[in-house]
Amino acid sequence: MIYKRDPKLIRNVLGNKVQFILGDMACVYGGLLAGCSFFGGYPITPASEVTEGMARMLPRVKGTYMQMEDELGSIAAVIGASWGGAKAMTATSGPGFSLMMENYGFAAMTETPCVIVNIQRTGPSTGQPTLGAQGDMMQAKWGTHGDFEAIALAPSTVQECMDFTIEAFNLAEKYRNPVCVMADGEIGHLRERVIIPDEKDLEIIDRVPATIDKKKFIPFTDSQTRKSKVPDFPTFGTGYRTYVTGLTHNEKGFPATDKQPDHEKLVKRITTKITDDLDKLTNVEKLYLDDAKTVFVTYGATARPAESAMEAARAKGKKIGMLRLKLVWPFPFKEIQKLAGKVDKIIVPEMNLGQIVHPVREYAEGQCKVVSAPKIGGEMHLPSELYKYLEEK
């Protein structure tokens, strides 16, 4: 059966508007609201609840759920489903994310919209399966071979798990690129109140389908119907007879593997289609940045203890602020450049040994001090631990 998004049915399956649910489950809700009609998954802690939630709910909204044989198969089926016309997603954690890297690059190279939820856990290797971390933030950007542009969101609350999964689908469809929701075991396994947005408040973006004359259609070039570097999408079975390959290809989609300009033209288009829109994509939360002299730059779970430390310090009259990156990739470097020119010190708390601190330091360009505040081992920072960084000179 070919899926058609049925808002009434989806809301009937989701139930009450206000609920108290797991972060993992909120990713399921977000997917269903966005119109996800194919989910391919493989069990892995702490992301299994996403897969289980999809197994329960997706057939009830007439979508297709499949437990694949491994994570390689999950992401492959997701990309295939997307070419078949579905909005498709998978969910995993560190080891599975590592296994998906080859096809993550394939999705970028073939401009396939799809969503990967990564409920991060500690690593390397098997690490601490039930404990959260933020160790895959750089992998989302650099994990696949070659040049491409990542899009990744990092939720700090259960509500954001839902909202950012919807947003991830919208960005995937708009830019025809894989999009990661980089949650973590802390948020994924946290229960919080969520409010399901009403249909009228929901923005749902669908890929632009190819509509022009089949003989004139060029599948891998700037859109022929809009001013955009994102081509219109020739869904399989609609008669466009498109050849899709992970090889470097020309505008027609044919392999063009031996000439430098062909590769440069293709890869520059599929990266700049995203970076050109950096200002539109940038999504940050700013707290007390008007007067702050020391600021936390945070994302995901670590924003929570950082906010507590900030509030405690402000209660004592210290001028502390916070910049929270809701969208981590593409990196909002202009925000960092601006901020670094205004403040004395930036502190970057992360549940890894220091990842996002590197682009922060790069774009601070020596204008202020940049300090990494790492914590690993599956425990979140305590506000008191972060408070100490505020007292250091």
Instruction: Give contact residues for another protein (rule: CB under 8 A).
Output: 1-3, 12-13, 15, 37-38, 40, 59-60, 62, 64, 66, 68-70, 72-74, 76-86, 88, 102-103, 106, 234, 236-247, 252, 254-255
Q: If we measure between CA atoms, which residue out of 76, 113, 115, 121 comes closest to residue 95?
A: 121
DSSP letters for 268-335: HHHHHHHHTTHHHH--EEEESTTT-SEEEEE-GGGHHHHHHHHHHHHHTT--EEEEEESEEES--HHH
Residues 55/65, Cβ–Cβ less than 8 Å: yes
Looking at the Cβ atoms of 67 and 224, the one nearer to another protein is 67
Pairing of strands 191-195, 18-22: antiparallel
Looking at the Cβ atoms of 86 and 320, the one nearer to another protein is 86
- 3-state SS assignment for residue 178: strand
Looking at the Cβ atoms of 129 and 246, the one nearer to another protein is 246
Burial state string for 293-312 with b = 16 or more CB within 10 A and e = fewer than 16: ebbbbbbbbbbbbbbbbbeb
Residues 242/251, Cβ–Cβ less than 8 Å: no
Residues 155/21, Cβ–Cβ less than 8 Å: no
What is the nearest approach in angstroms of another protein to the Cβ of residue 102? Answer: 5
Looking at the Cβ atoms of 87 and 345, the one nearer to another protein is 87
Looking at the Cβ atoms of 66 and 151, the one nearer to another protein is 66
What's the CA gap between 86 and 99, in Å, rounded? 23
What is the nearest approach in angstroms of another protein to the Cβ of residue 95? Answer: 16
What is the nearest approach in angstroms of another protein to the Cβ of residue 13? Answer: 8
Looking at the Cβ atoms of 215 and 280, the one nearer to another protein is 215
What's the CA gap between 212 and 232, in Å, rounded? 9
Pairing of strands 38-41, 88-92: parallel
What is the nearest approach in angstroms of another protein to the Cβ of residue 345? Answer: 45
What is the nearest approach in angstroms of another protein to the Cβ of residue 77? Answer: 4
What is the nearest approach in angstroms of another protein to the Cβ of residue 92? Answer: 15
What is the nearest approach in angstroms of another protein to the Cβ of residue 255? Answer: 7
Cβ atoms within 10 Å, residue 377: 10
Looking at the Cβ atoms of 86 and 360, the one nearer to another protein is 86
